[in-house]
Structure 1
Amino acid sequence: MINALLVDDEKLVRKGFISMTDWSSYDIRFVGEAKDGHTALALLGKTNVDLLFVDISMPGMTGFELMEQVRTLYPQIKSVVLTCHHEFDYVQEALRLGAIDYIVKTLLNRGNVDETMTRILKRLSWESREAVVSPVRTFQGATAFCTFEHPVNKEALLAGVTAGRKPIMLTDSIWLQPASDIETADGVMKLPLSLREHWQPIKLAPSAKLSQADAEALIVRMLPGWLFYGASPIPQTGLHLDPFAEDAAQASRIAEADKSVQAIELELEQMKWLFYGKEWKQLVDKIEATQPPPASLIRITSGLAEDWSLYFDWESDAERKTKWKPEQSPQSWKQVRSWLSEMMATLQRRMVELTLSREVVVCLLQAMAYMKRYAASDLNQNVVAKQVGMSRSYFSQCYKKFTGVSFGDTLRMMKLEQAKELLNTTDLSVYEVSSRIGFEDDKHFSRVFRERTGYYPTEYRMRRDERS
C-alpha cells in the first residue's frame, strides 16, 4: 500500500480531492492532510509517507519550497504537484525539484482521474526500480555554505566559489560544493571577503558510513544550529558528520527546538524582558537551552523590529537615528542577543524621556501585539484597553504619547499591512481581501489602500506579478 499525504491550503480542495475516487483501488491510502508546508514537515517527521500531493501556491511556504526540503530530508518520498497553472515554467520548476508528475486541479475530474492515476503509478514504479538498482554513494566530503540572511544573496555565493565547481542547493540558505578544492578548514578563510560577508563556509570531512543523501539530510538538520549557537573549533580535516548521525538524542533535541519557537515567541510578545532583568535572563537562558531554529528566531525578532519601525513615529528619531534592525542580518545567537539588548536600551531611554512607568510601557507594547494579532476583527480602544488593564482615556493618552501615532491610525496601518500580505501571497479578489481585514466597503478599502501605498490594490498585485 502506498502511503500518501495531501498538502493544500484550501480545506474544501483537500476534501474534494480525497473523496474524488476510491484510492484503495490504486493501492493508495491517505495517511494525513496538511494545510501548509510547516504542518506537512511536522507530519512527515512522525508518519511513513511514500507519495506527496502538494499544491504550489500556499502562504508562508510555497509548494516548491516544501518540495526542496522534502527532497533533502526525505529523498525516498516522491511528489506530485497540484496546480492551477498550466504554464511551461511551472511544470519545468516542478520537474527540476524531482516531481514525478503534475495535476492541473481545474482539469481533474471523476472522468479522467483513472487515466491520471495510472500514469502516476507507472512513473512511481519506474522511480522505485531505479532506486533499487542505483548504487549507494557514500559522502565524499564537501564545503558547505550557510547563511541566515533573508533574502539570501545567491549572487555573492556563485561569484565567490571556485570557478567551474558550482555548488548545489540543499535549501535556499544551505549550499554544498562537493569534493571542494579547499584542503583544510583554514582554507575557507582564503575565500573572497565578498562571499564570507554573506555566507559562512565550513569544510566537511568525508564519511564512509553516511550515504550522500543521508549526509545532505543531516547537514540540513544540524548545520544551521551548530553554526548559529556557537560551534567548537573545526579540525584541519573538516567537521566530521558521523558523531551527529550516531547521536540518538539529536533528533529529539531538534524536535524540542521546533516546539520551543511558539513559547519563545509568546515570551517575547509579553515585553517584560525589555524592562525587567529577571525576565531578560529567563528569556536568554531558555533560548540557549532549547536552541530554536535560527531562521525562526531571526524571523520573530525581525518581526518585532519591523512592527516598531512601522508603528512608532518618534520626533527624536531624526536626531538619534534609531535603527531597529541591524544593517546586516545577524549570523549568530551572540549577534541576535546584542540586537535585542540594543532594543531594550532604546525603549528604556524612551520610557525615561516621557516619564512613563515600566508597567505602563509594557502594557502599551502588549496592546500593540494584541492589536496586530486581531487587527482584522472588530477592535476598538475599549476592547484593547480592557485587555491590558487600563482605562480607555488613560490608554489613549499614553499610547499616542509613547508611539507618536494614534490608536486609530495604528490599527488602520496594521489592516493595510495584512492586506499587502494577502495581495502578495494569495489570489483572493480585492473584495475578499477587503472583507478579511475588516473593511465592509471594498471601494473605501481601495481608496485607503491607495492613500497609504500610492497604488490601488489591483495595481499593487500587478507589480507583485511583475516582480515574480
Structure 2
Amino acid sequence: MKVMIVDDEQLIRRHLVELQEWKQLGCSIVGEAGNGQEALQLAHLCKPDLIITDIRMPLMDGMQLAEAVRALYPRTHIIFISAFHDFMYAKQALKLGAIDFITKPIDLGELLEAVELVMEGANHSNVDERLHQEKLVRLLLSEKGDADEIEKQAGWSEVAGKQTMIFSIEIDNIELAGAASDPHSLFMLREMTCHVMARYPYRFWICLNRKGVYLIIFQPDGRLWDMKTDSMQIARDIISHLQDSFEHSISIGISQILSSVLHLRKGLEQIQECLDYRMLLGKGSIISSDALSLIRDESKRKDEIHVANLAELLHGGSKERISPFLRTVYRDMLAKGLGKHQVQQYAVELMERAGSIMEGYQLSGSAEERLETHKQILSYDILSDLLKFLEGKLAEMAEKIGALNKESVHSVIQSVNQYLEAHYQEEISLVSLSKVLHINHSYLCRLIKKEAGINFRDMLWGIRIEKAKQLLANTAIKTSLIAYEVGFKDPSHFSQLFKRIAGVSPKEYREQQAK
C-alpha cells in the first residue's frame, strides 16, 4: 500500500516517515508534505492509497485537503490526526469519508492497527457508497422518513423486500468512559465491525450514532444462512475481536427479524429496549429482542407470584414476613433494571392489591388516606427508601389483619367449646361440626390443633370425661350407664379412656370423691 504523510510539524512528520514498521506491514511511503497544498500537488504524481494527515495546518488544512482528495481521488483512504478532541471534527471527517481519527500524542500501535484495517479491507465500500448508506439509514430511522424519498435513494433496489435485522453496537457507560468526546473510538468501532462483517455473506450497512454504531444486515439469497442464529455469532465475533484491541467494553442489542428495511424504526425500538437490560447483565452484554420477550414473560410470572405471596402474607397476618418479601421484590426490581416510573407504578399496584384485601376484612382506610399513600409513593426517587415506606404500610396492614384473625380464631374455638358442651351426648364428628359452624372441616381440624393443642377427638373425649366425673361424684348411677349418658357407646372403652385421662378408674374416682 502506498502511503503519504502530511503534517506541518517536521519532527512528527519525519518520525512517521521513518518508521521501520511500514516495511513489515507491506507499506511504502511515497510522499510527505507540510500542508494541504503541497500534499495535493504531490498526490497527483504519486497516487497514494492512503493519506495520513494532520488537521490544523497552514495554507490548506486537513479538512480542505480531504475534501479535495475526495473529489479527485475517491478511492484514496484518509486517516486524520489531531491534537484536539473535538466531535465536530469527527462529524466533518465522516462526511469526508475518513477511515479513522487519531489524536495526538500519536499511539503508534493505534496508528498501525488503523492502517492494517485499511489493508485488510475493512473499508469494504468506497466513500460515496458509505455516504449513501449513512443518508439512507438516517432517513429510515427518522420519524419523518418519506417512503417515496427513501425508494429514490441509491442502493435501495438492492435491499428492497429483503428481510433484515438491526444491531446497536454501543460503548458501555460512554459518558463516564470519555468516549463521547473521542471520535477516534467511534471510527475505530465502525471499522473493526466492518472487518468482522467481511467474514460473513451478508450485505450490510453501518451508521455511526452518538454511542456507537448501528449495523443493518440483509438476508442473503439462498436458504443456507439462518440470520437469527448468525446474528448471535456475529455479535460474539464483534465483541471477541474488540476485546484485545479496543479500549472500551461494548454491549450489543439485536432486533428481531424484520420483514423489510422499511420497518427499521420498529427494530430501533427493540434494540433500545434490549440495551436497557445492560443494568442487569453488565458490560459486554449481548441482548436479543427474542430473548428479551422470554425475559419479560418470566418477569410477568414473577410479578404474579409476588402479588400472590403478598396476599398470603396479609391474609395470614404475617407482619414479620413483610421485610423478607420486600427484599425479594427489591432484588427483582434491580434485576429487571426498572426505571423510576416503572418502580413507582409497581409499588402503586402492590398497595392497591393490599387495599383490596383490607376491604375484604372491612379494614380499608378512607379514600383520602389511599390518595395520600399514592402521592407519597410517587414522591420517592430512591428505591430503598420507597421500599422502607412500603414495609411500614404493609406491616401495619398485616398487623391489623393478624389481630382480627386472632379475634376470629378465638371466636371459632369458643363456638366449638360451646357446641360440644351442649351436644356432647350426641354422635358428633369433625365433619358434622364443621357443617354446623359453616367452616371447612380441614381448616377447622388445623385450627383446633393449633389453638387447643389437641385434636378434635381428644377435645370431645375430654368434655365427656369431665361430665362423667360430675355424675360419678354426685350420683349413684352405674358406671356403664354413665358411659352411655355422656355419649360413649362402649362402657369398656369409656373405662379405659377415663383411666388414661383421670389417672384412676371410674370406680376408684367415685370412691375418692366419697371420702
Q: TM-score, normalised by structure 2?
A: 0.24
Structure with more helix by fraction: 2
Which structure has more relative contact order (CA 8 Å, sep 6+)? It is 1
